[in-house]
Amino acid sequence: MANYTQEQWNAKKIELMETCFNGFADLGLHGTGIRTLAKHCGYNTTMIYTYFEDLDDLIIQSTEYCMSKVEDDFMAKAPTDVEDLWRFIDEIPYWTAEKHGKKYRLMYQVYTHPKYREYGKKFFAGVDARYTEYAKSLESKLGIPYQKITPLIFVLIRACVHYALFEDEFYLKSQIEVLKETLELFVMKYNPKAISKGGLKK
């Protein structure tokens, strides 16, 4: 680290995590050693070992970091009001599959592996907390209590991830239909003014 500032060190580590995570997504987790990964990503193994203790450390850290970035991307597309809600629900599953499908497939390879399962449990405990905060940020925009929004976010996320994994259109559409009907009921109950503004148009 002698030739790097802390900022440069962190930036290089992030670059390695993103590149190597994408490399694993291309190659698959099983049977991909550090030499194969380094060659695929255009690095040498010394570079990787400079930042990570071993292959497991790289997998654990890069999965957590990169999937947290996926969450950030998802949240950045959040609806701005009730009328925008339908656009979001219709677009987000296909956007998720196209932009992040490989990452979700890799994440499940990692977190369902016995070696990494405890890290997966910890990551998803954080997901629960982060999406609850996300729901709180939507409360004022949608006029629906965040306690009602939170479980619906999980329904949407599950539908998006399932579609990203398997491109199961039937499962997706059935989940989205129920989600929209539930949201309509919540809007009518908690934010009836949105109805007169055309907020229930789909």
Q: Where are the domains of the chain?
A: 6-196
Cα radius of gyration rounded to whole Å, the chain: 20
pTM equals: 0.90
Provide CB contacts within 8 A for 36, sequence distance 6+: 27
Report, at the CATH architecture level, how domain 6-196 is classified. Orthogonal Bundle (1.10)
pLDDT for res 202: 55
Report pLDDT for 23: 97
Averaged pLDDT score across all residues of the chain: 93
| CA 98/CA 93 separation, integer angstroms | 9
Output b/e per residue, 29-45; b: 16+ Cβ within 10 A: beebebeebbebbebee
Q: Summarize pLDDT for 36-75 with one digit per residue, the tens.
A: 999 999 999 999 999 999 999 999 999 999 999 999 999 8
* 29-to-6, 15, 24, 63, 138 alpha-carbon distances in Å: 30, 19, 6, 11, 36
pLDDT surpassing 60 at residue 186:
yes
Residue 200, pLDDT > 70, answer no
